[in-house]
Structure 1
């Protein structure tokens, strides 16, 4: 997975298994997870799939994240969901943006990304968001399998669309909820 977050705001302690690896459970992130989020994201930043974010930003925005954590406390996956209020003047309903979506290499290909994405979709619905957007420098196969489709940044929350770096040549994807 290159880039990159239950129907209720509270997550059930669903356990995810990968053969030969300790199980993980999904939970909301906490500010003290900031270092683990930064560490998990580092290989994706080096590969150009994610933008670099300072540790302080992960701490401030911890409430945006869902994490997949082992019983020993290792964070093996995360997804951020930023909610954007409706913009009546632009005719845009409340929308969300998925960001900083990553899964540790040892966990890729075992369904963890799909489970994180489904949990983020449920979280977005519970917050009454009408649509979700994301930007990926990859092909976005996982998003496409979950109902996302290519979209124009002009349809996305304005603040997020303006923050996109055109040099990254990211694919913008959207999904109605």
Structure 2
């Protein structure tokens, strides 16, 4: 029997932090990236990508890995080709269901923002069809889609919230 929503929220809030190491993804992580992301693509939370696309873009990704070596989450940082633009896009951000609410997303986003700063990115953009609380806690602000210009690589789905952060 599934507990009522209020109890599920309380259980999630009481879960201890999940220690992870955040590292750059490598060629050996392609299958794990694909497997983790596919669950979110099935629900429409992420765009579906092939294993070939993950292999091509592996250098964009950071992985959150548990002490046991399991991939708990991932996130991509797509930097524009034009250095003058100094913009980047956060994409394919997902955390395994069992690890949600335990600091994995915070660890990934913190590492991603540090990487963006190291690459001299001036503004980071993202889009989400879900809650944006994690991004807002890290200083992102909601962008008005009618007036803002964002990198073409963002390609937000209809109804998504678009957010940005100046570094």
* TM range, smaller chain: 0.7 to 0.9
> What is the match of residue 173 of structure 1?
163
CA contact (8 A) 1:95 1:132 kept: yes
CA drift at 1:81? 0.3
Q: Which structure carries more relative contact order (alpha carbon 8 Å, separation 6+)? A: 1
Q: 2:48 aligns with which of 44, 49, 52?
A: 52
Q: Which runs of 4+ in 1 moved over 6 A?
A: none
> What is the match of residue 139 of structure 2?
147
Structure 1 stretches lacking a partner, 5+ long: 1-17
Q: Of the two, which has the highest radius of gyration? A: 2
1:18-51 deviations in whole A, cap 9, x for unaligned? 8597x43111001221110011112211221101
| Farther-moved stretch of structure 1 (123-132 vs 93-102) | 93-102
C-alpha separation in 2, matches of 1:60 and 1:72: 26
Q: 1:83 aligns with which of 62, 79, 82?
A: 79
CA contact (8 A) 1:32 1:59 kept: no
Q: Paired residues, what number? A: 151
Structure 2 stretches lacking a partner, 5+ long: 1-14
* TM-score (structure 1 length as normaliser): 0.78
CA contact (8 A) 1:25 1:69 kept: yes
CA drift at 1:87? 7.4
CA drift at 1:151? 1.1
* TM-score (structure 2 length as normaliser): 0.82
Secondary structure of 2:153 counterpart: helix
Change (3 A) 1:40 1:130: same
**Coordinate RMSD, CA, aligned:** 2.0
> What is the match of residue 64 of structure 2?
68
Q: 1:122 aligns with which of 114, 123, 128?
A: 114
CA drift at 1:149? 1.0
